[in-house]
Amino acid sequence: MLAWILAHAYYKKSSKNIPDWAKPLVEKLPKSRPTDSELLKIFEEALDTGSIVQDPVFGHVACPNCYAPASDFEEKGHTDLYSERTYVFVTCPHCGWSDGGEV
| Residues pairing with 77 in the sheet | 88
> Crossing angle for the helix pair 2-12 and 36-48, nearest 10 degrees?
110
Residues facing residue 91 across a β-bridge: 74, 98
Tell the smallest beta-carbon distance from residue 84 to Zn ion (Å): 31
Interface positions, 50-69, toward Zn ion (CB under 5 A) = 63, 65-66, 68
Q: Least distance (Å) from Zn ion to the CB of residue 63?
A: 3
Q: Is 71 in the site for Zn ion (CB under 5 A)?
A: no
Distance (Å, rounded) from C-alpha 2 to C-alpha 40?
A: 9
Using the rule CB under 5 A, is 47 a contact of Zn ion?
no
Q: Does 1 bind Zn ion (CB under 5 A)?
A: no
How crowded is the C-beta side of 10, counted as CA atoms within 13 Å? 16
In the bound state with Zn ion, the residue whose beta carbon lies nearer, of 61 and 63, is 63
Binding site for Zn ion (CB under 5 A): 63, 65-66, 68, 92, 94-95, 97
